[in-house]
Amino acid sequence: MSLPSVHEVEVCPKCGSQNGFYIRSRVSGLVQINYSFDGSGSDNQDMYTPLKHNDQKFAYCQQCESKIGRWDEKAKSIVSTRVRF
């Protein structure tokens, strides 16, 4: 049986959780971490921006970690893939 696109899933079919799902993403690249000489905080707000993300194909339940759906182009267009702070 083929898995549905994760945008069609409302609850985990295995455990019934409504907490949500996660995807796995392979990340590569270099980050710049800024430090102050006096030990006070420094702006690192954009340190992860240059990283490259390669999202994997499946979504998993946050509660029981079961594979619950496909992370496909339709899901990517409906579900926000990155939360920027």
User: Which pLDDT does position 80 carry in this prediction?
Assistant: 60
**How far apart are alpha carbons 2 and 65 in whole angstroms?**
18
User: Which pLDDT does position 72 carry in this prediction?
Assistant: 83
User: Which pLDDT does position 26 carry in this prediction?
Assistant: 94
Give the angle 71-25-27 at the CA atoms, nearest 5°.
Answer: 150
User: Which pLDDT does position 7 carry in this prediction?
Assistant: 86
pTM exceeding the 0.75 threshold for the entire prediction:
no
Weakly modelled stretches of the chain, pLDDT under 70: 1, 79-85
Q: Delimit the domains of the chain by residue range.
A: 6-78
